[in-house]
Structure 1
Amino acid sequence: MSNSNIGNKNQTQRKPVVLMTMGTQERKGHDYQVMTHKYITPLVDFAGCVPVLVPTCCGTDALETYLDMADGVYLTGAGSNIDPALYGQENETPGKGQDKARDLFDIPLVQLALARGLPIFGICRGMQEINVALGGDIYQKVYAVPGFNDHRENPQDPVEVQYQAVHGVKIKPGSWLREALGSDEIRVNSLHGQGLKNLGEGLEPIAVADDGLVEAIHAPGLSPFLFAVQWHPEWQAASNPDSIRIFQAFGDACRQQVRKAQASKQRQSA
Structure 2
Amino acid sequence: MLASISPPRMTRLERLLILTLVIGCVALFSGAVAQEGYGSSTTATPTANVTPAAEANVTITSPEEGASVAAGNVTVAVNLTNFTLVEPTGQPNAPGEGHLHYYLDAVVPTNASAPAIPETGGYVISTNTSYTWENVTAGAHNLSVQVVNNDHTPIIPLVFDTVNVTIGGNVTPTPTMNVTPTPTTTGNATAMVNLTAENIAFDTDTITVPAGANVTVNFNNKDSGIPHNFAVYDSSFRSERIFVGEIITGPATINYTFTAPSEPGTYYFQCDVHPSMNGDFIVE
Bigger strand share: 2
- Tell me if both proteins adopt one fold, taking TM over 0.5 as the criterion: no
- Which interval holds the TM-score relative to the shorter structure? under 0.3
User: Normalized against structure 2, the TM-score is what?
Assistant: 0.22
Bigger helix share: 1
Rg comparison, structure with higher value = 2
